[in-house]
Amino acid sequence: MLTNSRLAYHSHDHKRCIHAALTRAKTLCDAGHVRFTPIREAVLRTIWASHRPLGAYDIVDHMALDAASGKRILAPTVYRSIEFLLEQGLIHRIATLNAYIGCPFPGNHHSDFFLICRECGSAAECSADPLNIAIEQTAKRAHFKVESQMIEIAGLCPECQPDNQQGCEQ
């Protein structure tokens, strides 16, 4: 069972999450012989700004100016980078929010479900074998070929539940 719910819902040194994500991305791109260009890195860094999914417009907004060159970064450039990051499995698209979030465990094959807080917007990515097996078997019985699996669950994270200040089990 994979999950990043502890980090997604509780305060922590998020700089470490960003650093780890960028390091992983670089390693995976090197291993896959694809280029992790500065713009791709900047888009990934922007998406990893928090554990809340970010819409494409917000990403474009954040990226409006290239700090290094002072040049405007155009939306199509950003969209192409988003496509690249999706293809590489470095980010996921949350359909119900039409937004993107960094994957905490890229490079290891996983089928996701997301616990999305409707109050603060934080999304924790999880993957659990029993769930994946159930879906696989059900699809098989229906002779259905699964191509992608994204389950999005809405609710309240521990921080946002009014009567729970204890936090959740880790």
Whole-Å CA distances, 169 to 9, 71, 131, 144: 11, 46, 20, 36
- 90-109 footprint of Zn ion as x/- string (CB under 5 A): -------------x------
Q: Is 116 in the site for Zn ion (CB under 5 A)?
A: no
Torsional sign, CA 63, 69, 72, 75? negative
Q: Is 17 in the site for Zn ion (CB under 5 A)?
A: yes
Assess contact for 25 and 32: CB atoms under 8 A: no
> d(Cα 113, Cα 51) in Å, to the nearest integer?
15
Among 14, 19, 72, 140, binds Zn ion (CB under 5 A): 14
Q: For 131-156, b where at least 16 C-beta lie within 10 A, e where not — what string?
A: ebeebeeeeeeeeeeeeeeeeeeeee
Q: Is 135 in the site for Zn ion (CB under 5 A)?
A: no
Contact window for Zn ion (CB under 5 A) among 4-12, 22-30, 59-67, 71-79: 4-12
**Shortest Å, Cβ 97 to Zn ion:** 14
Assess contact for 98 and 121: CB atoms under 8 A: no
Q: Is 43 in the site for Zn ion (CB under 5 A)?
A: no
Phi, psi at 127, each rounded to 5° = -145, 125
Q: Name which of residues 136 to 155 contact Zn ion (CB under 5 A).
A: none
Q: Is 120 in the site for Zn ion (CB under 5 A)?
A: yes
Torsional sign, CA 156, 160, 163, 165? positive
Q: Is 119 in the site for Zn ion (CB under 5 A)?
A: yes
**Shortest Å, Cβ 51 to Zn ion:** 6
Contact window for Zn ion (CB under 5 A) among 24-32, 59-67, 110-118, 137-145: 110-118
Residues that bind Zn ion in the complex, under the rule CB under 5 A: 7, 14, 17, 103, 117, 119-120, 157, 160
